Amino acid sequence: MSSERALEILRSVFGYDRFRGDQAEIIDTLSGGQDALVLMPTGGGKSLCYQIPALIRPGVGIVVSPLIALMKDQVDAAAALGIRAACLNSTLGFREQQWIEEQLTRGELDLLYIAPERLLTDRMLELLGNAELALFAIDEAHCVSQWGHDFRPEYQQLSILHERFPGVPRVALTATADARTRGEIVAQLRLQRARQFVASFDRPNIRYAINDGQNPRARLWSFLEREHPEDAGIVYCLSRSKVESTAEWLAGKGRVALPYHAGLPAAARQRHQERFLREEGVIIVATIAFGMGIDKPDVRFVAHLSLPKSIEAYYQETGRAGRDGEPANAWMAYGLQDVISLRQMVESSTAPDAQKRIMQNKLQAMLGLCELSSCRRQALLAYFGETLAEPCGNCDNCLNPPQVWNGTEAARKALSCVYRTGQRFGVNYVIDVLIGKDDERIVNNRHNQLSTYGIGADISQNQWRSVFRQLITAGYLRADMERYGALTLTPESRPLLRGEIEVHFRKQTRPSKEKSVRKKIETVLENAADERLFERLREERLSIARELGVPPYVIFHDSTLREMAVQQPLTPEGLLQISGVGESKLEKFGEAFLAVIHEFQLMSQDG
Ligand code: ADP
Ligand code: ZN
């Protein structure tokens, strides 16, 4: 039976004990020649779902992926497992391509990664026609969607695979969850008869936290100091200039921090990405141009210094943390200016009205998540149509429930002050009037004579900013960027002004109150000796990785090294028991790591 064979491959090649979630059934479906559509969150274990059937079925598995820059790492990772893999894309020289094509024709490959534009050439289709094909895996399948931000026109032509190779099973895989995209994938790729596998999109090991308020940079720094003094992570910013300045600032603080955005030369982008993957503890500061398909498993944090445009984008970006299943942080800080500029970006977009409305709704949902005072995970999953029965206990709101206050009166003061100053001024000015500041401009405008002058003196300037942010976020006020951020009332303001509805605001979070996941990671290695051995094993891994020119995680994951440090196996058989050690890796790297453990034990006996 194919499922026994699959389990045997899982153990001997990958070194894992059991399948996760739907993996076994997906593998069965494909091995049996049927199509599948796989929706699984990042880190869910999608690659195995096509790698194992490609090994079970005769012929080569063709993997379509838009991620040319990462293909080499994917091939290296497969090779470390003893899988015969290669890639074909524009970065290869002619000789190399020819050689791979020969291997393909002779049936000497298990897996071939191809960029879609290459696959669609007549020449390639003909070559494939002459080879024995195990399956087609269409990775990052959401790229077919015109509405998504990863749209690739070539993906829409991939239906040709079904027409040219009707007998070859196809699997489309994506970590994008929404039903609309799923429908598009099915329609565009002709997957009407595919079995659909929709996994839970929950990522329980990721802790979500969203901070509001002043000085996001200082908050980021204290977060990094507290939780990730040495870890690799990603910091997302909205603009290129903010990316540059943030990377410089972090570097000035002594961290290895590299910028990444579409304005950098391709060579620099490539170099920074490589260092992020190959070295340890590197921080990438990036616009959303960075990250799709980054399968570095030990990204310990994703921090947002700017608001994402939608919950989909937020979830996808934060999903790059903790693919290895170990505790990770999704941390965000945002302020009033973010809300205003994003709103503005959407409003001034030249997209057709229908699409603009979608963008507006998506942004509104994102802002709602930010201002939420109940469990973030419940809200996130609900957005993707999933229900989480209980609050998660692993988000900021669960761990440290925010204080909520009835802001109805403050909101009415704010709105009427906007109204009485003529809907011509920005947030700072209106706040100055509210707190009754003695200011020349206010006197010249005679706004010191208004009934709203000084009626907000009982609330601090900072707190007012938070009130205005929440009013703008909730749509009770609008900031008009064409008029320098002048605040205007909206149709929603009226019932609030008339006292027909109440509003509640979150009190600002204080950084010192945030709780740490770091302790949880550290207690895994309670023993100081284990910790020392773990460090030694990491050094060994890094030196092997350097020698081979591959990312360290291609050798072994942290979790595998950690288990080695605790179990301290001294024989090849013992090493094989460790999760993540298969036969190929045992043969390639076993001796080196066993030597480290041996040496460590001898030294500790001496001491
Ligand atoms: P995705 O492509 O869905 O983001 P990957 O295929 O990269 O996820 O898998 C994420 C991590 O989980 C990888 O390090 C992989 O080796 C590991 N993994 C996958 N399946 C299993 C399993 N059955 N048991 C243990 N680890 C697994
Ligand atoms: Zn929660």
- Residue 486 pairs in a beta bridge with 480
Same-domain check for residues 64 and 125: yes
What is the model's pLDDT at position 90? Answer: 83
Show the CA angle centred on residue 300, arms to residues 402 and 83, nearest 5°. 145
Q: Is 16 in the pocket of ligand 1 (CB under 6 A)?
A: yes
Q: What is the DSSP string of 508-531?
A: PP-GGGPPPSHHHHHHHT-SHHHH
Whether 140 is in a domain gets the answer yes
Q: Has residue 525 got a pLDDT over 80?
A: no
Q: Ligand 1: which atom is nearest the Cα of residue 47?
A: 6
Band (15; pLDDT cuts 50, 70, 90): very high
Reduced to 3 states (helix: H, G, I; strand: E, B; else coil), residue 396 is helix
DSSP strands (E only) in 438-592: 477-480, 486-489, 504-506
Q: How many CB atoms lie within 10 A of CB 168?
A: 20
**How high is the pLDDT of residue 515?**
57
End position of a domain, from candidates 181, 198, 215:
198
Q: Are residues 172 and 320 in the same domain?
A: no
Ligand 1, residue 557: give the atom nearest the CA: 14
Do residues 327 and 421 both lie within one domain?
Answer: no
Share of the chain above pLDDT 70, in %: 95
**Same domain assignment for residues 127 and 261:** no
What residue has token string 């494939």? 128
Looking from the CA of residue 553, the nearest atom of ligand 1 is 14
**Does residue 83 lie in a domain region?**
yes
Is the four-CA dihedral 572, 575, 581, 582 of positive or negative sign?
A: positive
Residue 1: pLDDT over 70: no
pLDDT tier, 64 (very low <50, low <70, confident <90, very high otherwise): very high
For 162-172, how does the pLDDT look when each residue is reduced to its tens digit (9 = 90+)? 999 999 999 99
pLDDT tens track for 460-474: 988 898 899 889 888
19 CB within 6 A, ligand 1: yes
Dist. CA 601 → ligand 1 center (Å)? 31
Q: What pLDDT shows up at residue 178? A: 75
- Range in 12-21, 122-131, 285-294 with the lowest mean pLDDT: 285-294
Whether the predicted pLDDT of 516 surpasses 70: no
Residue 357 lies in a domain: no
Nearest residue (by CA) to ligand 1, atom 20, is 45
The pick from 39, 48, 316 for probing ligand 1's pocket by mutation, whose C-beta has the most ligand atoms within 8 angstroms, reads: 48
Pocket test for ligand 1, best of 12, 83, 295, 299 (most atoms within 8 A of CB): 295
CATH value at residue 287: 3.40.50.300
Task: For residue 107, give the amino acid letter.
Answer: G
* 133 beta partners: 60
Q: Given CA atoms 595, 601, 603, 606 in this order, what sign does their dihedral have?
A: negative
Name the closest ligand to CA 391: 2
Is 40 domain-assigned?
Answer: yes
534 and 475 in one domain? no
Ligand number, closest to the Cα atom of 374: 2
Q: Tens digit of pLDDT for each residue in 19-53?
A: 999 999 999 999 999 999 999 988 889 999 999 99
Could you give the count of Cα atoms lying within 13 Å of 462 in the half-sphere of its Cβ?
A: 8
Q: Are residues 152 and 21 in the same domain?
A: yes
The predicted model gives 289-309 an average pLDDT of 87
User: Is 366 inside any structural domain?
Assistant: no
User: What mean pLDDT do residues 87-116 have?
Assistant: 93
Tell which atom from ligand 1 comes closest to the C-alpha of 295: 7
Q: Which ligand is nearest to the CA of 382?
A: 2
Residues 479 and 548 in one domain: no
Pair 326, 409 in one domain? no
Nearest ligand (C-alpha, residue 402): 2
* pLDDT confidence of residue 328: 96
Q: Is residue 424 part of a domain?
A: yes
User: Which ligand approaches the C-alpha of residue 378 most closely?
Assistant: 2
| CB within 8 Å of 62: residues ≥ 6 apart | 112, 114, 119, 128, 133, 135, 136, 137
In a domain, 473, yes or no: yes
Q: Tens digits of per-residue pLDDT, 475-511?
A: 899 888 777 789 999 999 999 999 899 999 888 666 5
For ligand 1, what atom is nearest to the CA of residue 175?
A: 3
Among the three residues 506, 541, 565, which one is the final residue of a domain in this structure?
506
CA-wise closest residue to 370 among 332, 407, 340, 317:
332
Residue 40 Cβ contacting ligand 1 at under 6 Å:
yes
Residue 446 forms part of a structural domain:
yes
pLDDT score at 508: 67
CATH assignment of the domain containing 479: 1.10.10.10
Q: Both 282 and 238 in a single domain?
A: yes
Q: Return the ligand 1 atom nearest residue 23 CA.
A: 23
User: What is the helix (H) or strand (E) element at residue 324, kind and residue range?
Assistant: none
Mean pLDDT of the chain: 90
Using a 6 Å cutoff on CB, does residue 44 contact ligand 1? Answer: yes
Q: For ligand 1, say whether the CB of 296 is within 6 Å of any of its atoms.
A: no
Nearest residue (CA) to ligand 1, atom 14 = 324
Please give the pLDDT value at position 355.
83
What is the DSSP code (8-state) at residue 144?
Answer: G
What CATH number should be reported for the domain holding residue 599?
A: 1.10.150.80
The predicted model scores a pTM of 0.82
Cα–Cα separations (whole angstroms), residue 203 to 175, 380, 536? 12, 11, 30
CA of 463 relative to ligand 1 center, distance in Å: 45
Answer yes or no: is the C-beta of 43 below 6 A from any ligand 1 atom: yes
Residue spans of beta strands (DSSP E) within 213-361: 233-236, 257-260, 283-286, 301-304, 328-334
d(CA 463, CA 469): 10
Residues whose Cβ atom is located within 5 A of ion ligand 2? 375, 377, 391-392, 395, 398
User: Does residue 45 have its Cβ closer than 6 Å to ligand 1?
Assistant: yes
Name the closest ligand to CA 379: 2
In ligand 1, the atom with minimum distance to the C-alpha of 42 is 4
Residues 470 and 585 in one domain: no
Does ligand 1 lie within 6 Å of residue 323's CB atom? Answer: yes
Q: Which domain holds residue 106?
A: 2-198
Contact by Cβ (8 Å): 582, 82: yes
pLDDT at 176 over 90: no
Query: Which of these three, 506, 537, 557, is where a domain ends?
Result: 506
Q: How far is the CA of 374 from the centre of ligand 2 (A)?
A: 7
427 lines ligand 1 (CB under 6 A): no
Residues 193 and 215 occupy one common structural domain: no
Confidence band for 2, pLDDT divided at 50, 70 and 90: low
Pairing of the two strands 477-480 and 486-489: antiparallel
- Asked whether residue 323 falls in the same domain as residue 193, the answer is no
As for how many domains the chain has, the answer is 4
C-alpha span between 449 and 153 (Å, rounded):
61
With 60 as the cut, is the pLDDT of residue 385 above it?
Answer: yes
Which residue's CA is the closest to the ligand 1 atom numbered 25? Answer: 16
- Cα of 389 from ligand 2 centre, angstroms: 11
